Amino acid sequence: MDITTSSGGAGIAIVPLVLVLQTAPVWFAAKIVGAGKAEFLPVGMAVLGAGVISWLLLLALGLKALMIMPFVYLGIYMFYLDTSFLGAFILFVLGLSFQAALNKFLGVFSL
């Protein structure tokens, strides 16, 4: 049985792995940028929160939500990680580029 089509624990077990893979580069960038909350847990919660809100926007608005999603990430990074707009933009670009690489090499669509 394939992991992507199975229901239950195997598919759910991938979510923490993808969250850690997505959070690590943003965490390192938050340390470099000098974000106020540059610990792993707050960064992970910001990435998870922005991903969930973006997913809900996508369900509610369809493809129109793609215009709003970058501002969701910027706002959450600015507010939750206590950083400037430029710092949040750097975190956003790094997270987006790592997500593209993750999709390319692993063939998955994650947060």
Tens-digit pLDDT string for the chain (111 aa)? 444 555 556 667 777 877 888 888 888 888 888 888 888 999 999 989 988 998 899 999 998 998 998 899 899 999 999 998 998 998 888 878 887 887 777 766 555
Indicate the pTM of the whole model: 0.74
Q: What is the 3-state secondary structure (H, E, C) of the chain?
A: CCCCCCCCHHHHHHHHHHHHHHHHHHHHHHHHHCCCCCCHHHHHHHHHHHHHHHHHHHHHHHHHHHHCHHHHHHHHHHHHCCCCHHHHHHHHHHHHHHHHHHHHHHCCCCC
